[in-house]
Structure 1
Amino acid sequence: MTATHSPAQLWIAGARPRTLPAAVAPVLAGTGAAAYSDSVVWWKALLALGVSLALQIGVNYANDYSDGIKGTDDDRVGPLRLVGSGLVPARRVKAAALLFLGIGGALGFVLAATSSWWLLLVGIAALGAAWTYTGGPSPYGYRALGEVSVFVFFGLVAVLGTAYVQVEDITAPAVAAAIGIGSLACAILVANNLRDIPTDSVTGKRTLAVVLGDAGTRRLYGLLMVVAIGALVWAAFSTPWALLGLVALPLIGRAASIVASGAQGMALIPVLRDSGLIELVYAAGLAIGLTIGG
């Protein structure tokens, strides 16, 4: 790291503003599903939060490192990247990525050891997905598969895993919550990649947004919001209180209207902010509803 950049600045760059909502939301939703079954185990919920936060930060660093050494961040519209901007040596960012992914793996090992050992296989898959999203010789994030991975690992796995280690069962409210959170996590990436279509097209980063094009990506963002609302309706069959997740509707409307308006470049930054808030508020409302309903 250069002499003008402290470890604290390196940490802040890795823990981007949308990292905390994206890490907290699936654990909130999963714990809400556990509360519905009257099976909350708080120390396991906190361990799951540690896993989620560590993996989110590790993924941020891993993407910064891999995109930076490939040159895809050389002309970036969004927030400054550490490696692409030359602010921090690539080896330092790589070390930070491996550190946080290692912390996430260690905490996940404890959860698996106290729940079900088959969760270790899920954890190994998650770590592999985190690194190969933009890293390695054939990153799947460059082949329009990033959204699939986010839905699976930061939606289904994160929510169902959080619920399972507490309830030791897969319940309908947990599945509904996982689909809703997965859709909203995808929406964050869709908004990010919508903003980056011009630069990604030039650098050869074939994201789903590049494949779908501008108009198709905007439609996908709206569809993901509809799916998230539909997941609340499904959860409401277990308890109508699940509809408290609709407290996120004003934020959904604001973000979706900006996307539908054709905003581009830096004008999409508020959508990224709102998308993270939507996921967090949605998860909190749903968790409270499931807790009351249970």
Structure 2
Amino acid sequence: MTHATPGRPSALRIWWLAARPKTLGAAMAPVLLGTALAAVEGPLHLPSVLLCFAGALLLQIGTNYCNDLADFLKGTDKDRIGPIRATQAGWVTPGQMKLATQLVFAAAALVCAGLVARAGWPLVVIGITSILAGVLYTAGPYPLAYLGLGDLFVLIFFGPVAVAGTTYVQTLTFAWTPIWLGFGPGLLSVGILIANNFRDLDGDRLAGKKTLAVRFGVTFTRLQYTVCLLIAGLLPWWVYPEGAMTGPLRMLLLLGASLLVLIPIPFVWKHEGRALNPLLARTARVLMGYCLLVALAWVIPA
């Protein structure tokens, strides 16, 4: 059994830190929103609700473990200024991180199998593509994050796929509303990635990691972050069913979601480098609050 030593966390804490707990809300929030959209259509199937949350959590942790290992092997984390990564710090070996990644993705596949039993082949497609995307995000011969495609991956899989997939598991019918509304959490999740890539811009450039921040520079990155959050704030007003804006509480909740996304924007225009570390957690909290407010606006009685 691994024990904590000075400067080294306990084994349990090492794996918890490697899971990057501040990013886990990005996986859970769209599932919450998708569940709320389904609740309007009828009674929820509670076992599949729990499986959706578990699957999203496992996919996020597996992706983070894979990223920890892949960035170490590519040398990207050598001069990082963000939180310590487990493999780079020597807390775990590459073999241990590889095994952990495989086990977590295997658990995610089992959860997906349970969802397939309820929702059929669409969940096979979602499950396989989600696991593949989680691996190919930083691993493989053409890792998405190293080609500047990480933003698109995050937008799709943490947005429409997560929200609409969750809703489909409950309703077993296709609808456009969860897809369009899913772009809200997708854009805010991209905001988390932008904050990360902006902070790591200099190190990523040296490591050959061609994120959009590296490709287009500081001003573009700040504008990208701002635009993503502003569009997310406006999106629910466009998607919300016509004629449903009848209750003051609903309007207040949506207004709260729209104002919430404005809070972290000034920060990205004032800071660079290591000073951006708080922005990741702030954006993640905005994502959680946004999804909660929009979900409540959807389910409260007129």
TM-score by length of 2: 0.91
Distance, in Å, in 2 between the alignment partners of 1:293 and 1:215 is 44
Residue 64 (structure 1) aligned with residue 73 (structure 2): no
Q: Is the 8 A contact 1:200 1:207 kept in 2?
A: yes
Which residue in 2 is equivalent to 1:290? 298
SS at match of 1:18: helix
Correspondence 1:7-46 to 2 at 5 A: 7-46=11-50
Q: Which moved more, 1:268-277 or 1:174-183?
A: 174-183
SS at match of 1:254: coil
Give % identity.
37
Aligned counterpart in structure 2 of residue 184 of structure 1, from 177, 182, 188: 188
Which residue in 2 is equivalent to 1:264? 272
Q: Measure how far apart 1:122 and its partner are.
A: 1.9
Aligned counterpart in structure 1 of residue 235 of structure 2, from 202, 227, 231: 231
Correspondence 1:55-204 to 2 at 5 A: 55-204=59-208
Name the amino acid aligned to 1:55. Answer: L
Aligned counterpart in structure 2 of residue 253 of structure 1, from 243, 259, 262: 262
Task: Name the count of aligned residue pairs.
Answer: 293
Q: Measure how far apart 1:169 and its partner are.
A: 2.0
Distance, in Å, in 1 between the alignment partners of 2:23 and 2:221 is 22
SS at match of 1:74: coil
Aligned counterpart in structure 1 of residue 289 of structure 2, from 278, 281, 285: 281
Alignment RMSD: 1.9
* Structure 2 residue runs without a partner (length 5+): none
* Structure 1 residue runs without a partner (length 5+): none
Distance 1:129 1:183, change over 3 A: same
TM-score by length of 1: 0.93
Distance, in Å, in 1 between the alignment partners of 2:132 and 2:251 is 33
Q: Which moved more, 1:19-28 or 1:210-219?
A: 19-28
Structure with larger Rg = 2
Q: Is the 8 A contact 1:50 1:107 kept in 2?
A: yes
Distance, in Å, in 1 between the alignment partners of 2:252 and 2:115 is 30
Distance, in Å, in 1 between the alignment partners of 2:137 and 2:24 is 20
Distance 1:18 1:32, change over 3 A: same
Distance, in Å, in 1 between the alignment partners of 2:79 and 2:199 is 13
Q: Measure how far apart 1:18 and its partner are.
A: 1.9
Q: Is the 8 A contact 2:257 2:294 kept in 1?
A: no
